[in-house]
Structure 1
Amino acid sequence: MDSQFLVPENQLQEMKNFFENKDFAEAVESVKRCLEDIDQVPLNVAVTGESGSGKSTFINVIRGLGDEEDDSAKTGVVETTMVPSPYLHPHHRNVKYWDLPGIGSPEFQPMDYLQMVKFHQYDFFLIITTERFRECHILLARAIKSMGKKFYFLRSKIDSALKGCRRGRTNCCKDEDLLKKIHEDCVNGLRAGGIENPRVFLISSLEPEKYDFYLIQKTLEDELPSHKRHIFLLSQPIFFHQALEKKRKAFVAQIWKWAIMSAMNVATSQRPGVNSMSCVPYLSANGDLTLMVNVLEEYKKAFGLDTRSLMILSDTFGKDLEDLRSVIGTMTALEEITPELVFNHLKSYGLTDMGRIVTACVNQYVPQIGTLASGGIAFGTTYLTLNSFLSAMAEDASRVLRMALPTSD
């Protein structure tokens, strides 16, 4: 068997810890709660800045949306946000980006502003500007810090800034030197205003594959509490190969939990007189194919292989939609994922037989699985099915990204 389908040692140990010295049903319930908690963790991101700073466009891009979609934040050079406006992630409804009212008016008072926008509900603040950070940004950052919240500075529309630097100059510096100069100017200005060790990220929402867009994603992921890190990672758009690999690893870590749920479902629904050596009929009859369909749909959307995501990728980077589709090799990613499709995959690839091998391996750490008859085989079969589809979809997503961004790596 391909080594990629073997259960890693760290997962085996995690399973053992879950089930050791516990009633089996109680341990399974703990696994179920763990999966539910991952999907229900709330994440609230505050995006603030002056009118015309690019808040709304950034919110759309970070959610993987275009500016013209129904769920998009309103964009424009005139301030369109008078009250905090929440924008939900299209696939993770517990992830919200809040477009806050603009700052910078002569009467701006940061403490009053934070009270008005209910600052306690946000996990962190993103302070955006298109030019140098001004006193209003510094005052707001100080107030946020005094209240124990994290904040990050984003210098947006950096593509336009670079063009402005080159305009009328025949011997202009390289982009790297210009970016370094802009970054240093921002940092020095913030330090002069009393902000210690300011973290500044240069971004372009029109060219999200460039500059510091990935760096801000990685920084936020690294600095979020562990229980919120997972949902933030899965909600990020696919512009970088590093993010693809992180998502794949995050999903791999969950597979054994879904396999446990499948095994328990099959075991508790077992009917007398049915051949216990094949779990495929049980998976079909007891709804566990639907369980797999739901998980595979999550993979598909997280990797940007659904039609909506592909269309946005096509529009964002000026690539033909059919060219992007042409590099997708997994039929599951191209077609509607149904119980019948998964069922045919199980039969075609003989995963039930390989599932017995996986179950035998896991049984050394969690002996209770071996007592579940067809449920035990269901564990191995579900584990292998999700693993094989995940691997294929991750490879598809990488090919699509290379097609959209030939120079990205």
Structure 2
Amino acid sequence: MAMDGNNPYELSVNEDDAQIVKLHFEEKGYRGLDKALMKRRDQWVDVPIHVAIFGSSGAGKSSFINVIRGLKESDKNGAELNVGQTTIEPIPYSHPNKHYLKFWDLPQLGSRAFSKDLYLKNANINKYDYFLIFTKSTYSEDDFWFAHQLQALNKKCYFVCTHMDIVVDSALKEDLNADQREVKIRVLTAIRDRLHKTIKDQKLKVDYVYLITTADVRKYDFPKLALRLIVDLTGRKWEAMALTLKVFAEDVIKQKRRALQKRVWIIALMSGLEHASHYYGLQFDVDIEPVLEEAQEYRRQFCLDEASIYRLARSIDTSVESIKKASSFKTNYAQLEDRGLVQQYKTLSVYDVSDGITKSFSPILGNLVSGSSPFGATYFVLNRLLDTMETDALRMIEYVKYRGAEL
């Protein structure tokens, strides 16, 4: 039965997944249901995404490819930062946490193999989901030629201008007595206006021009670019990009929450299968293992692990304790362990929400949620954890902004 949107819980369920899981249950019962659910939960990992990076040598392509994958220059799988060499064929760089997400360094125009007449064919242009055209300062004739070809083929294309930290620092040194924030705004506005005018003069319809630095992915337009890379994809590709990119920015965190929300029902079903155990004080048996794994995944996705918070604290010259206190940090790591999670289930008697959630899902999942399954309880517990961790992440981002670590 198709979902009609009248039930608010439908927003958190992928209809295709629900139909596949229901069909499995109708045909095979509980046999292999746990594996079927895990496959739906993890399907995003195997979804191919191809991002094309175009631009002249020295435009910052390699640095971007490294930082968007969370790699350092010294990592063995990093893109080589050698401005004296140029790419002679498309080179793929896989994301370390999702090998099917590839960033392709495209060759420059000019060589025999990649003249304008042959470029689109030899670069296999139809492979890519979208294109980023990089420059360090001013776009060239080749950049605009390529953009026109992409526009004619109805391909998604974004202009990216790099090294903004160097440009801004230079402007600040020229006027040491000026208000730093005003100088930054003035410089960035002038660059953006100039690039927009140039693109408009070329009669290109590209609406997005991003000013970035790869030295800090929180600064300038990098968070907006990361968001665009997510929201311009659909379905599994959107989910895959949202859960793969590790850019600590408000809108990216919200996209992660949306993607994680759509798999809560899967974990809730898994928590009531054959490996469920009895815990003192609970009126139902529950398999706590998949719930624990999911809770830890939330922690990683929202960058709330100790290593991530430590790096964030160092970047703004403060301590982990200070950033947690200033952000009113609520995530309790003890709740992400067996005993702590069970205690959260026990508090449900106060809220009396488990039965209501289960009944609301009955039109969507049918007999899968009937009986004494802990479905509603797990759904509530995981959503409460999502709420807490998303809020902690967003508050830390606001605190970083307050400290002036990004513009």
Normalised by the length of structure 2, the TM-score is 0.76
Contact 1:233 1:247 in 2 (8 A): yes
Matched, 1:126 2:132: yes
Task: Measure the CA separation in 2 of the matches of 1:212 and 1:352.
Answer: 43
Is the 8 Å Cα contact of residues 238 and 303 (structure 1) preserved in structure 2?
A: no
Farther-moved stretch of structure 1 (47-56 vs 76-85): 76-85
Q: Which amino acid aligns with 1:132?
A: T
Worse-superposed segment, 211-220 or 62-71:
62-71
Q: Is the 8 A contact 2:281 2:346 kept in 1?
A: no
Partners of 1:129 and 1:155 within 8 A in 2: yes
- Paired residues of 2:62 and 2:80 also in contact (CA < 8 A): yes
Partner of 1:54: 60
Question: Residues 391, 363 of structure 1: CA spacing in aligned structure 2 closer, same or farther, 3 A cutoff?
Answer: same
TM-score, normalised relative to structure 1: 0.76
Mean Cα deviation higher: 148-157 or 218-227: 218-227
Higher mean alpha-carbon deviation, 74-83 vs 241-250, is at: 74-83
Structural mapping, 1:320-335, within 5 Å: 329-332=330-333
1:242-278 deviation per Cα after TM superposition (whole angstroms, max 9, x unaligned) = 3223322332232123212333x24xx679x999974
Shift of 1:133: 0.1
AA aligned opposite 1:372? G
Aligned counterpart, 2:255: 246
| Contact 1:49-1:137 at 8 Å conserved across structures | yes
Q: Is the 8 A contact 2:212 2:219 kept in 1?
A: yes
Give the structure 2 partner of residue 290 of structure 1.
289
CA contact (8 A) 1:154 1:202 kept: yes
**Matching residue of 1:25:** 25
Indicate which of 336, 342, 345 corresponds to 1:346.
342
Q: CA deviation at 1:292?
A: 1.9
Question: Using the alignment, how far apart are the partners of 1:396 and 1:275 within structure 2?
Answer: 31
Q: Are the structure 2 counterparts of residues 160 and 255 from structure 1 closer, same or farther at C-alpha, using a change threshold of 3 Å?
A: same
Aligned 1:177-196 pairs, distance under 5 A:
177-196=186-205
The amino acid of 1:178's aligned partner reads V
For residues 185-334 of structure 1, what are the structure 2 equivalents within 5 Å? 185-197=194-206, 199-263=208-272, 265-266=273-274, 278-280=283-285, 282-283=286-287, 289-310=288-309, 312-313=311-312, 329-332=330-333
1:186-223 Cα offsets, whole Å, 9 max, x none, are 22323444534453211122243232222222333332
- Deviation digits for residues 100-155 of structure 1, max 9, x if unmatched? 34x26576624534444433322111111101000121122223334442211101
Q: Which residue of 2 aligns with 1:4?
A: none
Q: Number of aligned pairs?
A: 382
User: 1:303–1:394: 8 Å Cα contact kept in structure 2?
Assistant: yes
Structure 1's unaligned 5+ residue stretches are 1-7, 284-288
Listed as ranges, the gaps of 5+ residues in structure 2 are 1-5
One of 382, 386, 394 as aligned partner of 1:390 = 386
SS of alignment partner, residue 381 of structure 1: helix
Q: Which amino acid aligns with 1:346?
A: V
> Closer, same or farther in 2 for the Cα pair 1:100/1:297, shift >3 Å?
farther
Contact 1:11–1:256 (CA<8 Å) still a contact in 2? no
Match of 2:376 in 1: 380
SS of the residue corresponding to residue 220 of structure 2 reads coil
Q: Which residue number in structure 2 is paired with residue 112 of structure 1?
A: 118
2:8 counterpart letter in structure 1? N
Of 7, 10, 24, the residue aligned with 2:8 is 10
Q: Distance in 1 between matches of 2:153 and 2:125?
A: 9
Q: Does structure 1 retain, via aligned residues, the 8 Å contact 2:358–2:375? A: no
Q: How many angstroms does 1:353 deviate by? A: 4.5
